[in-house]
Structure formats: structure tokens, C-alpha cells
Amino acid sequence: MEHDLTDLREVMENRSAARAPDPDLHERLRRRIRRGRRIRLGAGAAAAVLAAGVAVPVLGSTGAGPAKPERAPVLAGVPDDAFTSSGPKYGMAPLREVRYSSIVRKARVTYTPTGPDTMVEYRCDAPSKVYEVLPGGGLSGGGCDENDSFEGYRHDEEGVAVTYQAVVVPLDVDLRSVAELDRYVEEHSPAPGRWSVRIYSGECTAEACSKPSPAPRPGSRVKGLERLAEARGVPDGRGRTVSFVPSGRSVRLRVTCLDGAALALVRWGGRTDTVECEAAESLGAVLDHPVRPGERTELEIVVLPAAATAPASTDDAGVAEAMEGVEPDGTWKLEVFAR
């Protein structure tokens, strides 16, 4: 007896009704279908590669477009152990020297001070400029050659590691902010050039250590310190003088910029420190300065809004040019703490 399609369907339905359905059946079927699709797609992609002779992404590759170029890694240096056997400077012992072989690349410098005072200097085979980017957002720098360089003086906590970034650039490159430095490094390729950083630590016995030098710290580092002075204002490019009498050998400054205030210039002892206070936000950018105990001390602070252009110079004329046509925006606060 022959069976047609209707008879076969009836037999299958009767047999299916007689047994409980497998709850995992549908999921197993879906997995088989997906697996079959992957196999077919993978085989098709492989065939396309063989036929065209080029590499194409197959199913499961991570990118749909060309990979973005990676930033250059942080510049690695080689310590010079012989430096620690050299003579002291300003009463401070040689702590560490690290040598580098490229410029226009950021180097991460780390040291652990052995005393309250630290002095940092540089040596460059060719006349160059070196910039320091400190943790709280400050930028400082100066000239560098094979015999001399600008010197950075700071007060550190003995035994507490300090890390900052240093960048050497050609002598004719003038950078006025951390943002400008970052852009320059990103837009220019590394170049060969040998230079080194030298670090001395201990207790300074020279007048040179009275030079102001920023050592930015996180905002929490003012907790428990006595406030000696405070000033507030709007970022209008005008200078404000702050006066105080320190009791110790250094003071800690905190500059807080909010709601559009962006760049602070701290003028002290013939030197101007540039502080990108906007980056530190409500925590504030923190700087340490050496002082003479018991002597009345003055500093001047000038704050610019984010809408102002980067000043071509940090004097009054440069600030006035940067503020031309710009309205004050935001608020700022300067606090001076005893250490």
C-alpha cells in the first residue's frame, strides 16, 4: 500500500504527540543554524582571500575600519650609576642620573628624596630647551646644553617617591602651557638627541634654594595645614598681590579655578610659574615654594579665562594681548598654607 504525503504527515504528528517535547530542541536548532552560517561565511571569506590575494577581516575580527596610529611610548632612559659617586651640590648629595637618546618624547622621571630639599638639573649634547610637567598641572622649563641648564628647586617629603615628566625640544621651540607641549609632541616625530637629568637630594645650604620652584601636589595635600593667606577673584587678567609671613622654610600654594577660569600665572621673586588650574578642577593645583621664615613675603597672581589665547609672554603686555576682546568668565581662589 502506497502512502502519500498526507499519510506520512499524519503518522509523524501522531508520534510527536505521544512524547513530551524536548525543551532544548529549539535552542539546539538555533545553534546549528548559527554554526552553519558561520562556517559558510568563514569559507566564503577565505575563498575571497585566496582569489584576490589580499587580507580581509573575517567574521570575529575586531575592527571595521583602519587601525588608529598608536602614540609613541614613554621614553625609556638608562641610569648612570657612576653619578652617585660624584661630588655634592649646594650641600645635597647626588641621588640619580638618567640618560636618554631621543628628544621630542616624554620621559617619566621618578626619584625618592633622601632629605627635605631637591635640586634637578639637565645636560643636553646640543643646545635645547627642556620642559617639566609636574603632577599638579604646572609647567616649567628653560635652556639646556652640555655644560649647564636651568635648575629646579623644590621641597619634598623624605622617602616619598616623586614622579614627573620631562621633554627636551629644539632650542627655538617656545611652549607656554601643558596643552601646547602635548600638541607639539603629538604632531612631531621623535628626533635623535642625547640628554640627561641629574637629581640631588638632602638639605640645601646655599642661597640658590630660596629660588621659587613649583612642586604641584594633589589637592588633598593641604589637609591639616595652617592657612596663612587667601585671595579670590574673577579671571580678568589683572594682577592681585598676596602678602603673608611664613613660619617655616616653605609654603604650599593651592590655586582653584572654576566655571571658566583656566590659566594662572604666579609671579614670585622674578620668576613666573604657569599653572593650568582648570585641569585640576575643584581639587586645585598645588605648588610648593621655599621661603625665609619670619620675613614678610609677597607674590602676585594673574588668572585668565579659557576663552583667552595663550599669552605670548607672561609679562603684563603678553597678558593684555591675550585678554583683548575677552570677557572674564568663572572664578578663582588662591590659598597659601604654612609647611
Which tens digit of pLDDT belongs to each residue from 153-167?
Answer: 888 888 888 888 999
What average pLDDT does range 176-183 have in this prediction? 84
Grid cell at residue 57:
577581516
How far is residue 93's CA from residue 80's CA, in Å, rounded to a whole number?
A: 15
Q: CB neighbours (10 Å) of residue 202?
A: 21
Pick 164 or 50 by higher pLDDT: 164
- How far are the Cα atoms of 138, 305, 320, 337 from residue 286, in angstroms, in the given order? 9, 19, 26, 10
Q: Give domain limits for the chain.
A: 78-208, 212-338
Record the pTM: 0.47
Write down the pLDDT at residue 321. 93
Separation of alpha carbons 121 and 153, rounded Å = 9
Better-predicted residue by pLDDT, 15 or 269: 269
pLDDT for residue 50: 37
Looking at residue 120, its amino acid is V
Report d(CA 264, CA 328) in Å as an integer: 13
Cα R_g (the chain), whole angstroms: 32
pLDDT of residue 149: 83
| Confidence class for position 218, pLDDT limits 50, 70, 90 | very low
53 or 169: which carries more pLDDT confidence? 169
* Highest-confidence segment of 38-42, 52-56, 204-208, 214-218: 204-208
Q: Is the pLDDT of residue 93 over 90?
A: yes
CATH 2.60.40 fits 78-208, yes or no: no
For the chain, percent of residues with pLDDT exceeding 70 = 72
Q: Answer yes or no: is pLDDT of 38 > 50.
A: no
Q: Mean pLDDT over residues 327-339, rounded?
A: 90
Q: Which pLDDT score is estimated for 290?
A: 80
Name the band, by pLDDT with cuts 50, 70 and 90, for residue 175.
confident
Strand boundaries in 70-204, DSSP class E: 78-79, 92-103, 107-111, 117-124, 128-133, 138-144, 152-155, 162-170, 191-202
Give one DSSP letter per residue of 183-228, joined into a string: HHHHHS--EEEEEEEEEEEE---SGGGGS-----B-GGGGTTPPEE
C-alpha cell at position 276? 593650568
In the predicted structure, residue 297 carries a pLDDT above the cut 80: yes
pLDDT at 193: 95
The CATH classification number of 212-338 equals: 2.60.120
Query: Residue 1: which pLDDT band, with cuts at 50, 70 and 90?
Result: low
User: At 4, is the pLDDT very low, low, confident or very high (cuts 50, 70, 90)?
Assistant: low
Kindly state the average pLDDT of the residues 1-26.
58
Nearest in space to 132 (alpha carbons), one of 112, 115, 149, 147: 149
pLDDT at 206 over 50: yes
- Residue 3, pLDDT > 80, answer no
The reply to whether domains 78-208 and 212-338 share a CATH topology is: yes
Mean pLDDT of 7-33: 56
- Per-residue pLDDT at 143 exceeds 80: yes
pLDDT at 45 over 60: no
Residue 98 has pLDDT above 90, yes or no: yes
**Mean pLDDT, residues 215-237 taken together:** 77
